[in-house]
Amino acid sequence: MHIKGICINADVDRLGGSLVRLEEDLDYFQECGFDGVELAADGLDVVLGGRLNRSQVDRVRAITGRYPFAYTVHPPGRLNLAFPQRGAGGVSDLVLEKDVFAACLEFCAAVGAGVMVYHSGLIGLYEYAFGLGALPGPEELEAARSQEVAALRELMPLAVELGVVVGMENRDPHPWELAVLRRAGQPDDALVTYHAGLTVPALLRQVTEVGHPQLGLTLDLGHLYLAAGQCGFDYLDGVRQAAPYVRHLHAHDNFGRLGWVHTGLHSRLPYGDGDTHLPPGWGRIPHLESLAALDGYEGLYVLEILPRFRAHLAQALESTRQLIEQAQSPQGA
């Protein structure tokens, strides 16, 4: 295993389009000792209506260029090439999704980011959840899956041109999804059918069918731990399955509990519910064993920690360094 640097996420909500906040955060991340930063494209207003906002990109680059960080980019979480949003008349607007994807790749190139994260699009529950359509049937699910593969094949040459690796990220489960399934008369275990992006095999199928050397996985350990608890697969088996394809790594902590109807972090933390994005070691994810299962990984290690825990970032960085050193030692291996 060769960890090229430990990074921290620049949180989308904290940024809120503020370049003053961006500069404050980069100063603080440098003070903590991080090697890199994952920038939220939708937190910086660099993409508007599917196009690169070039004047804003120039302002962002003038700030990011003053720091010695390795940068990566996280596009909008809603970006979806399998189930695009629908425009006028209910027509699927795949063109707009591709435009946003391409604009985010251009932003990567502008700030020297070598990796762009893309959340798997294999989640077909939104339209039914909002009363805009029925649950997709088997043929629709397969068509959406194939559409994502075709779109990625079309977009990856631009990633090559711009020198960007794309990492497809595994998603996490939520209580609202089970509510949707139950309203539709579906069992809870149907979740992996309608939200296949939770599972490593589904993502590996997408990556292998695209078959491009600059497309791999962004393995999010926190998401995988929650999905394993809800969907009934073995977490470490999932890490081992993903390992040969992992090009980027997200780490944070949680308790593996899906939770209930409460959405506010303040109400979920006492119970350990959901995707809490805690500093590693605060929850139950076996981080050392995860790193051991990723023995061949070469890339950045991105801590995705919520701003609520900002005061603990330096300690999280030190704890992560110790974990990596332990995993790389003969005893840790």
pLDDT in tens, 54-90: 999 999 999 999 999 999 999 999 999 999 988 777 7
Please name every residue paired with 92 in a beta bridge, in sequence order, or none if there are none.
86
The answer to whether 30 and 6 are in contact (CB under 8 A) is no
Q: What is the largest CA-CA distance in the chain?
A: 61
Both tokens of 175, joined, read 């209580």
Domains of the chain: 2-328 (3.20.20.150)
Rg of the chain in Å (alpha carbons): 19
Q: What pLDDT is stored for residue 12 in this prediction?
A: 97
pLDDT single digits (tens) 221-275: 999 999 999 999 999 999 999 999 999 999 999 999 998 888 899 999 999 999 9
Query: For the segment 269-316, what is each residue's pLDDT rounded down to a tens digit?
Result: 999 999 999 999 999 999 999 999 999 999 999 999 999 999 999 999
Residue 112 has pLDDT above 90, yes or no: yes
pLDDT of residue 105: 98
